[in-house]
Structure 1
Amino acid sequence: MLNTCQPKESIVRGVKPRVCILHTDGTNCDQETAYAFSKAGGDCRLIHVNQLRCGAEKLSDYQILAVPGGFSYGDDIHSGKVLSVEMASFLSDRLRRFVDDGKLVLGICNGFQVLVRTGLLPWSELGSIKATLMQNDSGHFECRWTNLLVEQNHCVFTRGLAGTVVQYQAAHGEGKFFTDEITLQKIEQAGQVVFRYAGTACGQPTQDYPQNPNGSLHAIGGICDQTGRILGLMPHPERFVETFHHPNWRRASLGEPHGLPLFRNAVAYAAQTGAGY
């Protein structure tokens, strides 16, 4: 299925990196994610997981894999669990090759939940679950705009954004990042925290509700793997790639839509490195 969104920005080498927007029953942010990547210069395809399983589509033909938000398979058992089992079981060899070839993986909201349940986050170890996204401390679904401090680290997706505060919309019921203390310290020491929920636009990380909408440990809103090429985050950058996406766009001086640089960085990296061409 082809995405109908038309790209509006060119990329460095003139060859558009191909982006696999993975979806299945219950995914509902695939079109928005495709639009964001297309606007950043990517050549997007909406690919059902069954197309990869049966071989109708080859993951190796793509340079970027995006797992969008939604409620894959109704979030039966746990959020993202069924899709993560499919990926780690039926697509494991292809996923390993994809990552080993230096390509990019992005998981947003339900996609983040999928990536931690496959083991791709935090350490690219398929089948080894070291963290999870738990039910929000509030006990209910949270839908609100959040301030996120972008940390200084090696993440490909946030190059040039370190130290800034971005505003993305959070929309989840199970978004509390949780793991054991040893794993948490390893993630921190390796500089794998990419986003932290911030109390104000000044960027001070917070555990206070509702600025931290779920109670995540260390205010973590998103992490990357050790290479910086796999990113998962709970809030939705694809929902702010046009100025008018923000509820306060008529009154505030927001500058460039805060979500767009994340997708532009990914497309530029894939174009520059040529991984998988």
Structure 2
Amino acid sequence: MKRDEMRVGVCIIEGSNSEDETAAAFRSLGTNAEVVHLKQLLHQDVPQDEERTLDDYDVFVIGGGFSGGDYIRAGAIFANRIRSSLFDDLKGFVKSGKPVLGVCNGFQVLVELGMLPDLDSQGLSERPEAVLHLNDSDRYECRPTRLKHVNRGTSKITAHIPLGEVRIVPSAHGEGRLLLHPSDPDKTVKTLADNDQIVFTYTDENGNDEVPYPYNPNGAPGGIAGITNRDGNVLGMMPHPERSFWRWQHPDWTRTGGLKKNGPEPGDGHAIFEGVVRYAEKAL
């Protein structure tokens, strides 16, 4: 599939944010991206010419925010609204091999939906298999974080990123501690590591593993920052790549001579979006 033919849907509900930056990132890569409200996909209270279906898109994205006010649990309301009417359609979308990206609140939604980690490769599990729990600090954490790419090949979206490469991507969340087995955090790490489903881990300036707070902003076991499904076409991550898509978005841009550069340079988050598009180019 050519990039100028690729259709990207960035799905939102009340309380979502970052959708404009996310859509802009995909557009800058030559795709046709639009922000779509869930009501448009459910055909609820929208004009007929604004109705959409999942078949209208080649890539499905859920970005950041506080959807539904984060009531019940982060992402729970958004996920249950999808589950009530779009479960089978979305399951088919995933099983067809089309890419799905969930960022921060979007990652929380994918976990609540059972799309991640999807340990049995069902597309969507009937019940959530994991939870993104409250940060260990019991508060909202917002800062640049260093991410190490640790996936050995399962993740098709990040296949172009070298193993061990570190990128700086901002984190901003209050519920980001991934747990599959709340009573045994080490089992969470082992389960995902054995399946090669861990994509990114938090690290420090020396690239160390198992780093403490504040390098690991939420206390996730194993420093897990992002995971993929067993088939490798769904990526969920807590940090926000759209907030470091361009180099000028990085906090050290001026200190590192950014003002002297001609034209915008890709930032550390650029590779995430590029990976989604590259995968769709080859797979669809």
Alignment TM-score, normalising by the size of structure 1: 0.90
User: Which residue pairs with 1:130 in the alignment?
Assistant: 129
The alignment status of 1:211 with 2:211, answered yes or no, reads no
**Residues 151-194 of structure 1: CA distance to partner in whole angstroms, max 9, x if unpaired?**
13321221221210010000001111112145542211010000
What is the CA distance between 1:39 and its match in structure 2?
Answer: 1.4
| d(CA) in 2 for partners of 1:170, 1:261 | 16
User: Which residue pairs with 2:173 in the alignment?
Assistant: 172
| 1:130–1:183 CA contact under 8 A, matched in 2 | no
Q: Given the superposition, is the C-alpha separation of residues 263 and 148 from structure 1 closer, same or farther in structure 2, using an over 3 Å criterion?
A: same
The alignment status of 1:268 with 2:272, answered yes or no, reads no
| d(CA) in 2 for partners of 1:119, 1:184 | 18
| 1:149–1:204 CA contact under 8 A, matched in 2 | no
| Unaligned ranges ≥5, structure 2 | 45-50, 259-264
The alignment status of 1:156 with 2:156, answered yes or no, reads yes
Q: Given the superposition, is the C-alpha separation of residues 217 and 62 from structure 1 closer, same or farther in structure 2, using an over 3 Å criterion?
A: same
| 2:64–2:103 CA contact under 8 A, matched in 1 | yes
| d(CA) in 1 for partners of 2:188, 2:215 | 25
| 1:72–1:82 CA contact under 8 A, matched in 2 | yes
Task: Give the SS at the match of 2:212.
Answer: coil
Across the aligned residues of Structure 1 and Structure 2, the Cα RMSD in angstroms comes to: 1.7
User: Which residue pairs with 1:6 in the alignment?
Assistant: none
User: Which residue pairs with 2:30 in the alignment?
Assistant: 41
1:183-222 to 2 correspondences below 5 Å: 184-200=189-205, 202-222=206-226
What is the CA distance between 1:198 and its match in structure 2?
Answer: 0.2
User: Which stretches of structure 1, 4 residues or more, deviate above 6 A after TM superposition?
Assistant: none
User: Which residue pairs with 2:66 in the alignment?
Assistant: 71
Letter in 2 for 1:72: S
Aligned pair count reads 262
| d(CA) in 2 for partners of 1:42, 1:15 | 5
| d(CA) in 1 for partners of 2:5, 2:102 | 21
| d(CA) in 2 for partners of 1:79, 1:36 | 25
User: Which residue pairs with 1:17 in the alignment?
Assistant: 6
State the identity as a percent.
37
User: Which residue pairs with 1:241 in the alignment?
Assistant: 245
| 2:151–2:200 CA contact under 8 A, matched in 1 | no
The alignment status of 1:229 with 2:233, answered yes or no, reads yes
